[in-house]
Amino acid sequence: MSDLSVIDGVGFGAAGLVLATFCMRSMSALRWVAIASNVAFIAYGYLGGLAPVLLLHVLLLPVNICRLAQLRSAHLEAIRLRSAGRVGVTLSAQEMRTELPLTANCSAFGEPDRPVFSA
């Protein structure tokens, strides 16, 4: 373990970022750290010639970016509703779908506004 290569260091750093995602208290922070880990694992997979690692994180990166954009959109919509005086008002089904982060409204990942999980 004394002759740790740069590639191994990148891999351990990427693994540490994945571990950090499990410690995040907010979904936004989790997505930011997950994006950083995807980038680190992409570098690790490329530098180490590890095609499965590289492919997995090249595919996960846009998923995390899309989910972060959904969170941002829901946050902005909540701000808009609050500024319009709709605090405490029962939301319509359409408004609920735009605010819940568990909807798949990225066209690359399924039908728009279809719940990913059902109760």
pLDDT tens for the chain, 119 residues: list them. Answer: 567 899 999 999 999 999 999 999 999 999 999 999 999 999 999 999 999 999 999 999 999 999 999 999 988 888 888 888 766 555 555 555 554 444 445 555 544 444 444 44
pTM: 0.69
96 Cβ contact list (under 8 Å, min separation 6): none
**Residue 50 in 3-state DSSP?**
coil
Distance CA 40, CA 34 (A): 10
